[in-house]
Amino acid sequence: MKWILILAFLNYSCSVHAQSTDTIQLSLREVVEMAKQKSIASRQAVTVRETKYWQWRTYRSNYQPQLSLNGIFPGYSKTFTQVVQPDGTILFQPIHNDNSSLNLSFTQSIAATGGTIFGTTQLQRFDDFEGKTSSYNGVPFGIGYSQPLWQFNSLKWDKRIEPLKYNESKQAYIESMEQISITASGYFFDLLIAQVNLQIADTNLSNTQNIMRIANEKLEIGKISKNEILQLQLEELKAKKAVGIAKRDMQIATLNLRAYTGLPSTTSIDLSLPAASINMKVVTEKVLAEAYANRSDAIGFVRRIAEAKRDVAKAKGDNGLNAVLTARLGYSNSATTVGKVYQNPQDQQLVQLDFTIPILDWGRSKSRTKTAEANQQFTQYAVEQDKQIFTQQIVTQVTLFDMMREQVVLTADADSIASEKYQIAKDRYVLGNLSITDLSIAFQEKDQAKRDYVSALRDFWGSYYQLRYLSLYDFEMNEKINYK
């Protein structure tokens, strides 16, 4: 029984250790999707998107009817107040009353004119506790319209600009997610290169030790010199040092990838080499068309011009000449009871024009207008320059993607040739018809060819994700990129 318990405990310990060191094999696309779902950057992008959405809702509410209830209840007061007498003297009279009121009102903005339609119903009660009397005053119904004259219409301009801002924010969210793809692919290849370097270092160390054993046998029978043994010993030391450096680099790269994608620290990561080709066709004209249709920068070009025009309109509208025309119709009444307030109310009418006309401002209004016009001209030049940079960046990226596709093919061939050449060199050295110097050169060429191939894969996939980011278009699926 004792031995059974011991065996059971050992099996449990082994299973726990195996679970804590489970290895998960990940491809490039899996790492990218994991980063989009779990990274802090993705959560930040979602938060920014939600913020922009509620800002959009706030803007939309400015064009909807607003209903509000306000009042004073109670309006109790007990004090002394000054009363001016007919002869100019002042007497302080006691006041003890309650003056309460309620006002239900609605407003509706008119974007086309900048005016406001408003309506109201009011009820006021006054209680005089000294005289023990109560009275009511009310506006059963009132409606009016207020119209600014010759002034800047912010509602009209917001209706042009705010939808652009909202659409720009939606495309910016997609760009943020594609930027996560670029960053995640960078961390992926950092770890992949570190793993490849460790594999190369381990293989080189093993091969060097095997060759060293053969060389010692040759030294005993006098077929090689002591100098070759020393050279191999040096190569072995270099290989051991390379293993240590590769392990350090892999640990750092693993930590970075885990931190970004949210992988648990108890899981070992084994990355697979991504494909060396993608089934997609990229045409510069198509990429440019999609970029101008999808990118937030393209929407931003239109928005910046619209904002500059708005600033000019505001400078011209805020020229000091301000006038507001207000018209109001309704009914009002006063009575000793609430019911009588609403019986046979009297007409209520109001027409009012408030205005301010500057007589002398020393050219202030003209200066503001000229400044806004100059800024508009500067914005137009800046937008044209940014459009050229935007276009050139896309054209360059398409060219770079095609070049990287060719480089992957070339470096793959070079890697295959270098590996075959090294194998031949190793066999020739064992047979004794190749120098240690030539073998060392074959070593280095093989290692460099493998690193070049992985680096070419990195450049190729990096340019692929960069192309997606610049166009917000999936050329594999032939559809626009969208995230819910």
404-451: pLDDT as tens digits? 999 999 998 998 898 888 788 878 867 767 776 777 788 778 888 888
Distance CA 454, CA 153 (A): 59
Q: Which residues, at least 6 apart from 469, have a Cβ–Cβ distance to it below 8 Å?
A: 175, 178, 179, 181, 182
Q: For all residues of the chain together, what is the average pLDDT?
A: 88
Residue 464 corresponds to which amino acid? Y
Residue 106 corresponds to which amino acid? F
Is there a contact between 102 and 198 (Cβ–Cβ < 8 Å)? no
Is there a contact between 438 and 231 (Cβ–Cβ < 8 Å)? no
Of the candidates 468, 455, 474, 477, which has an alpha carbon nearest to the alpha carbon of residue 404?
455
Of the candidates 319, 424, 326, which has an alpha carbon nearest to the alpha carbon of residue 372?
319
Distance CA 176, CA 446 (A): 39
pTM for this prediction: 0.83
Domain ranges of the chain: 23-63+154-320+361-484, 66-110+115-152+322-357
pLDDT at 4: 37
Is there a contact between 404 and 460 (Cβ–Cβ < 8 Å)? yes
CATH class of the 23-63+154-320+361-484 domain in this structure: mainly alpha
- Helix locations, 331-363, DSSP H: 338-341
Answer whether residue 13 shows pLDDT above 70.
no
Q: Which of 61-65, 320-324, 331-335 has the lowest mean pLDDT?
A: 320-324
